[in-house]
């Protein structure tokens, strides 16, 4: 996509200009964990350099060393050819290094300008600093096209703009080397495009960008060079133009991976879960869910796409019984659940509703428990674990061992603390627990968030296998690839409403992305330019009402029209 011209030309110029960043034999251990093994990377000035690897490959540790959170056990760092010693983020900033973290470090109640100058107020009184910051921000906007209203309050800004503020913060501190840690995890495809525009502008002005990600698509789209890490070591360096996604994927995991699981066509049966006019209003009177209508049949997967925070979490909470709905009705396996007739998570489980929660650390398991105790969470009253008030710990541990074996949870030690398992293994344990009792409805939230590629493949296969067994699956994910790979039908949520619906085989990324950003909420009849022909007739056949339900429903589905 992007021509690798700048980097090659400077390197072949012969004058050997010093690389912006040079990491030489960086080695770092945490106890017995060898996080970085003799990592050496050269990053040429004014390029976008990607670092890819699975979770736990050591990318973040490496960047934390560069940004001064950790000090390397061994090795050297050179910035612009000069050896530097970076012992704190202060040293890093002094060396011209800036970092945009995965979770933003912003004060929500402060304005943009206050956040930008935070920690660099220049002087006792704030007024002079603000004036200076304002002038500087105008210059940055001029130079890089980074436009953000300096007086807007951070909490009111969309995530994409918050991220821009983070970049502004770094540039305000005169950074020439910008590290971005998984910057696109929270962005819509459109916001991601905007971010990439900004990064390209930065590159043109000579800023060196280091992009940490595990999304290969982004690497291919924007970087000039890419370093692949595995098990703490660099396994390959490539010019982006000379490689492709498949090669990088193989390098990352050390073997071939299939990008999407093989799956047969769904053979849907009876409607297992039907939802009509479902609404949820929170304590502040904000509508978290607004007139949600859908149904899932046994043996099919309904994907719920959307940028996080648009009601998907609340939908899972309501469907699993954690929160009762405020309006509407859920028909679950022949039982009606409403605000007046709520159904506790305990009863839901008894009905045959299993729930793999989005937040596995706080909901899915108890990090302070050994694995076997987490493996009975929600089923602690199950007769399988003994009669009466006492838990048969041997039976529970045996069960946990069986789950671990079936789902390849490593290490296979039921007595090991839940927190000591990696994210992927924790997730596999939770899936094993929820799938063990052959639920009729399976609610799955972000099944592969923070999970490495090998485990993703396994988890996807398990979800499809459950579907083939006749379970109705509701899959909530912010990863479009995942939604597209698994879903038989897809709905898209935006601000608590369903704004789009399509079938799995007809869905395309671009259309879903537009729905996720609600980009055409006011004029659904006018399909955005460049829409693939496959979807165009569908769009034009829609009701015509603004915000009307797009996409054709599969035959036999009855959903009441929106008001």
Q: Which parts of this chain interact with other proteins (CB under 8 A)?
A: 27, 29-34, 73-74, 320-322, 344-349, 355, 357, 359, 362-369, 373, 376-378, 380-381, 389-391, 393, 413, 415-417, 420
Q: Which of 317, 355, 294 is nearest to 497 (CA)?
A: 294
* Minimum distance from residue 378 beta carbon to other proteins (Å): 4
Strand order in the sheet with 33-43: 33-43, 21-30, 74-79, 82-84
Cα Rg of the chain (Å, integer): 25
* Minimum distance from residue 418 beta carbon to other proteins (Å): 10
Closer of 85 and 346 to other proteins (Cβ): 346
Query: Are 429 and 409 spatial neighbours (Cβ–Cβ below 8 Å)?
Result: yes
Closer of 268 and 357 to other proteins (Cβ): 357
* Minimum distance from residue 410 beta carbon to other proteins (Å): 14
Closer of 352 and 554 to other proteins (Cβ): 352
Strand, coil or helix: what is 72? coil
* Minimum distance from residue 481 beta carbon to other proteins (Å): 27
Residue with tokens 């479902």, as numbered in its chain:
278
DSSP β-ladder status, 472-476 and 21-30? unpaired
Q: How far apart are CA 302 and CA 274, in angstroms?
A: 12
Query: Are 456 and 463 spatial neighbours (Cβ–Cβ below 8 Å)?
Result: no
Q: Which of 189, 217, 213 is nearest to 307 (CA)?
A: 189
Show the tokens assigned to 129: 């600093």
Show the tokens assigned to 209: 């960008």
* Minimum distance from residue 35 beta carbon to other proteins (Å): 10
Closer of 150 and 414 to other proteins (Cβ): 414
Q: How far apart are CA 507 and CA 528, in angstroms?
A: 15
Show the tokens assigned to 317: 């909470």
* Minimum distance from residue 392 beta carbon to other proteins (Å): 9
Closer of 34 and 506 to other proteins (Cβ): 34
Closer of 49 and 349 to other proteins (Cβ): 349
Closer of 156 and 359 to other proteins (Cβ): 359
Q: How many CB atoms are located within 10 Å of the residue 541 CB?
A: 11
* Minimum distance from residue 246 beta carbon to other proteins (Å): 33
Residue with tokens 């309904």, as numbered in its chain:
302
CA distances from 492 to 155, 218, 299, 534 (A): 24, 22, 20, 18
Closer of 445 and 524 to other proteins (Cβ): 445
How is residue 145 annotated by DSSP?
-
* Minimum distance from residue 357 beta carbon to other proteins (Å): 6
* Minimum distance from residue 233 beta carbon to other proteins (Å): 14
Greatest pairwise CA separation for the chain in angstroms: 80
Closer of 349 and 440 to other proteins (Cβ): 349
Query: Are 427 and 448 spatial neighbours (Cβ–Cβ below 8 Å)?
Result: yes
Closer of 201 and 377 to other proteins (Cβ): 377
The sign one gets for the Cα dihedral 105, 110, 114, 120 is: negative
Determine the Cα angle at 337 with ends 333 and 338, to 5°.
160
Closer of 368 and 532 to other proteins (Cβ): 368
Q: How many CB atoms are located within 10 Å of the residue 405 CB?
A: 11
Query: Are 103 and 183 spatial neighbours (Cβ–Cβ below 8 Å)?
Result: no
* Minimum distance from residue 103 beta carbon to other proteins (Å): 19
Query: Are 146 and 198 spatial neighbours (Cβ–Cβ below 8 Å)?
Result: yes
DSSP code string of 507-543: --HHHHHHHHTTTTSS-TTSPPTT--TTTHHHHHTS-
* Minimum distance from residue 407 beta carbon to other proteins (Å): 20
* Minimum distance from residue 341 beta carbon to other proteins (Å): 17
* Minimum distance from residue 85 beta carbon to other proteins (Å): 17
Closer of 120 and 436 to other proteins (Cβ): 436
Q: Is 226 exposed, middle or buried (0-12, 13-18, 19+ CB in 10 A)?
A: buried
Q: How far apart are CA 267 and CA 91, in angstroms?
A: 60
Closer of 184 and 446 to other proteins (Cβ): 446
């Amino acid at each position: 996509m992007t021509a690798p011209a700048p980097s090659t030309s400077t390197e072949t110029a012969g004058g050997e200009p010093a690389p912006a960043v040079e990491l030489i034999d960086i080695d770092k251990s945490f106890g017995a964990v060898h996080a970085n093994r003799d990592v050496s990377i050269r990053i040429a000035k004014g390029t976008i350099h990607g670092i890819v690897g699975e979770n736990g490959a050591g990318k973040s540790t490496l960047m934390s060393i560069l940004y001064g959170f950790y000090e390397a056990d061994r090795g050297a760092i050179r910035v612009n050819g000069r050896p530097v010693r970076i012992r704190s983020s202060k040293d890093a900033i002094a060396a011209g290094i800036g970092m945009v973290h995965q979770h933003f470090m912003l004060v929500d109640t402060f304005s943009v300008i206050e956040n930008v100058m935070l920690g660099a107020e220049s002087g006792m009184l704030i007024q002079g600093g603000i004036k200076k910051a304002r002038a500087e921000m105008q210059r940055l906007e001029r130079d890089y096209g980074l436009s953000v209203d300096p007086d807007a309050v951070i909490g009111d800004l969309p995530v994409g703009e918050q991220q821009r503020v983070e970049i502004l913060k770094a540039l305000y501190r005169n950074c020439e080397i910008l590290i971005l840690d998984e910057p696109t995890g929270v962005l819509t495809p459109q916001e991601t495009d905007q971010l990439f525009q900004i990064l390209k502008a930065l590159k043109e002005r000579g800023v060196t960008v280091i992009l940490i990600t595990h999304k290969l698509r982004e690497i291919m789209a924007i970087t000039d060079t890419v370093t692949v890490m595995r098990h703490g070591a660099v396994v390959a360096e490539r010019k982006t133009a000379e490689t492709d996604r498949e090669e990088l994927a193989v390098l990352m995991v050390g073997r071939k991976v299939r990008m999407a699981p093989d799956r047969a066509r769904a053979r849907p049966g009876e409607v297992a879960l039907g939802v009509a006019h479902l609404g949820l209003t929170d304590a502040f009177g904000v509508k978290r869910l607004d007139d949600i209508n859908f149904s899932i049949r046994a043996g099919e997967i309904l994907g719920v796409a959307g940028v996080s925070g648009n009601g998907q979490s609340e939908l899972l909470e309501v469907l699993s019984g954690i929160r009762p709905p405020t309006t509407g009705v859920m028909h679950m396996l022949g039982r009606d659940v409403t605000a007046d007739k709520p159904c506790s998570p305990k009863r839901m489980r008894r009905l045959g509703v299993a729930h793999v929660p989005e937040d596995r650390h706080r909901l899915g398991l108890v990090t302070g428990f050994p694995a076997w105790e987490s493996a009975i969470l929600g089923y602690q009253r199950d007769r399988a674990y003994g009669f009466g008030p006492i838990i048969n710990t041997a039976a529970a541990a045996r069960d946990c061992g069986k789950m671990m074996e079936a789902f390849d949870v490593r290490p296979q030690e039921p007595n090991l603390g839940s927190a000591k398992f990696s994210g992927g293994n924790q997730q596999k344990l939770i899936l094993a627990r929820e799938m063990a009792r052959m639920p009729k409805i399976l609610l799955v939230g972000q099944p592969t968030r923070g999970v490495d590629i090998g485990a993703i493949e396994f988890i996807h296969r398990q979800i499809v296998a459950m579907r083939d067994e006749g379970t109705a699956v509701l899959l909530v994910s912010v990863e479009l690839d995942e939604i597209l790979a698994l879903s038989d039908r897809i709905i898209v949520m935006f601000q608590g409403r369903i704004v789009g619906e399509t079938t799995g085989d007809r869905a395309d990324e671009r259309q879903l992305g537009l729905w996720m950003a609600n980009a055409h909420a006011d004029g659904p009849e006018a399909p955005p330019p460049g829409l693939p022909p496959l979807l165009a007739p569908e769009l034009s056949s829609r009701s015509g009402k603004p915000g009307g339900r797009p996409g054709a429903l599969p035959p036999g589905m009855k959903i009441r029209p929106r008001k």
